[in-house]
A = this chain, B = another copy of it.
Amino acid sequence: MNSKMKLPILYSQRSHQTRDLAISFLMQQGVENPNCISLAAGLVDPMTLPVGDALQAASRVLETEESGRLALQYGTTQGSAELREELLKHFASLEGSDVASLGIDETQLIATTGSQQLLSLVCETLFDPGDICLVAGPTYFVFAGNLAGVDARTVTIAADDDGMQPAALDHALEQIAAMQELHRVKLIYVVSYYDNPSGVCVSTERRKEIVDIAKKWSRDHRILVLEDAAYRELQYDGPVHSSLWSFDDSRDQVIYTQTFSKTFSPGIRVGFGVLPSDLVGPICDRKGNEDFGSANFNQHLIAETLRSGVYKTHLQKVRAGYQEKRDAMLAAADRYFSDIDGVTWVTPHGGLYVWMSLPESIATGFESPLFKQAVKNGVMYVPGELCYAGPAEDRPSHQMRLSYGVQTPDGINKGMERLAEAVKSVVR
């Protein structure tokens, strides 16, 4: 053996399947172009981060030796009982219900490292290579990466301003059944509130329909629905919706997940899942193998902010701030884009994103003239093609995800102006 030569490491198959996160590329672009206004980053607004509230919660949790030790010791894999009790109350209040009427108890709740970990755990627990997941087009690109990581097949279901189209979902399942592949369908993934990236909210009617379709095609096994409600509490206007989960009377068809990353602090990183009772064991076994449970201290911090009402007060401020920024982005879209032919965008009632479509001939990818011109002009966005599952060649490539999360209203306006100039330079 030549000692100068570095022998290769042989990686697992699934390691090769892991999709390189586009986030890295965008972050690098940001570093190399420090004056760039990023409308790409999904980070939360640093000004909303609850420094005082977090200190108050930490002080309460660590106030006595007894309460402090509880929080600093190992927790359980499923998560702090105290937190899960608070989560149950919180979830009930979001559903306009009370705990007793929910039809579940805290044994069906699990605390995770953000809702992202729940998404990953569900994929690991359900999918063998070649199993099928139905997703909206576009969909959350990190989840598409999770599906790629377990070598799942994805079937993209058309979506519009009311979210995933039930008729298209039903039709897709019919086709899959005709091909004798229904047994491979494990999951329907729905970002139900203010979708990342499209900003749309699934209409009430469709919520019920999607759950019913999952039930209808559950013949020999259960086709589960994974409801990703990460942005639920970032609502600014528009109608209030009950979850898809609430339309499942059996309480065993829908997995629900939510996070405190967007509404409180991503650095504290607490999310949770509401699970069908028979899924709790397998998910916890998997999580036990991965990390024994998420940081217990953080779970106590979030429980404290829920209990004290600090969370609720903070949320009001966060919502007001983002609403102002959403309005700034929509006004800027009107100001700078309405005179460009073929450009349309979705008006979101919550969340952090405006989804913009250009004429189909205008590519938006990292290698496109538009992206390069945009960076040159000092602005960045997430190319829409990253937000689809399935083979790259089948994806629409003329869209952009624009985030108003991080920039100030002024920064948003300037970024949109620069972006419109870039678009005009390639449309002409």
Binding site for B on A (CB under 8 A): 1, 3, 6-15, 18-21, 23, 27, 43-44, 46-47, 49-52, 54-55, 58-59, 62, 64-65, 68-69, 71-77, 113-114, 116-117, 120, 124-128, 131, 142, 145-146, 149-150, 183, 186, 215, 218-222, 224, 250, 252, 261, 265-269, 276, 278-279, 282, 285-286, 288-292, 294-298, 300
Q: Which of B1, B72, B126, B186 contacts A219 (CB 8 A)?
A: B1
Quick check: B54 and A297 within 8 Å, CB to CB? yes
Quick check: B55 and A59 within 8 Å, CB to CB? yes
CA distance A40 to B71 in the complex (A): 21
Quick check: A279 and B9 within 8 Å, CB to CB? yes
Quick check: A286 and B15 within 8 Å, CB to CB? yes
- Given A7-B218, A10-B126, A295-B113 in contact, is the A62-B72 Cβ separation under 8 Å? no
Q: Which residues of B contact A282 (CB under 8 A)?
A: 9, 11, 15, 18
Quick check: B292 and A114 within 8 Å, CB to CB? yes
Q: Which residues of B contact A21 (CB under 8 A)?
A: 77, 285, 288-289
CA distance A54 to B68 in the complex (A): 9
Quick check: B128 and A12 within 8 Å, CB to CB? yes
4 closest pairs, A vs B, by CB?
A51-B68, A267-B296, A72-B267, A269-B295
Quick check: B55 and A51 within 8 Å, CB to CB? no
Nearest chain B residue, comparing its CB with the CB of A223: B7
> How many copies of the polypeptide does the oligomer hold?
2
Quick check: A43 and B73 within 8 Å, CB to CB? yes
Quick check: B65 and A51 within 8 Å, CB to CB? yes
- Given A8-B221, A266-B73, A294-B113 in contact, is the A55-B43 Cβ separation under 8 Å? no
Quick check: B285 and A269 within 8 Å, CB to CB? no
Quick check: A72 and B49 within 8 Å, CB to CB? yes
Q: Which residues of B contact A11 (CB under 8 A)?
A: 125-126, 282
CA distance A49 to B72 in the complex (A): 6
Quick check: B9 and A278 within 8 Å, CB to CB? yes
Interchain nearest-CB distance for A304 vs B (Å): 12
- Given A49-B68, A55-B59 in contact, is the A14-B124 Cβ separation under 8 Å? yes
Q: Which residues of B contact A286 (CB under 8 A)?
A: 15, 18, 149
- Given A1-B218, A6-B252, A43-B73 in contact, is the A145-B289 Cβ separation under 8 Å? yes
- Given A1-B219, A120-B291 in contact, is the A297-B265 Cβ separation under 8 Å? yes
- Given A51-B68, A71-B267, A73-B43 in contact, is the A10-B114 Cβ separation under 8 Å? no
- Given A124-B14, A183-B10 in contact, is the A295-B268 Cβ separation under 8 Å? yes
CA distance A292 to B116 in the complex (A): 8
CA distance A266 to B146 in the complex (A): 28
CA distance A294 to B293 in the complex (A): 12
Quick check: B297 and A268 within 8 Å, CB to CB? yes
Quick check: B13 and A114 within 8 Å, CB to CB? no
CA distance A12 to B292 in the complex (A): 20
Q: Which residues of B contact A219 (CB under 8 A)?
A: 1, 7
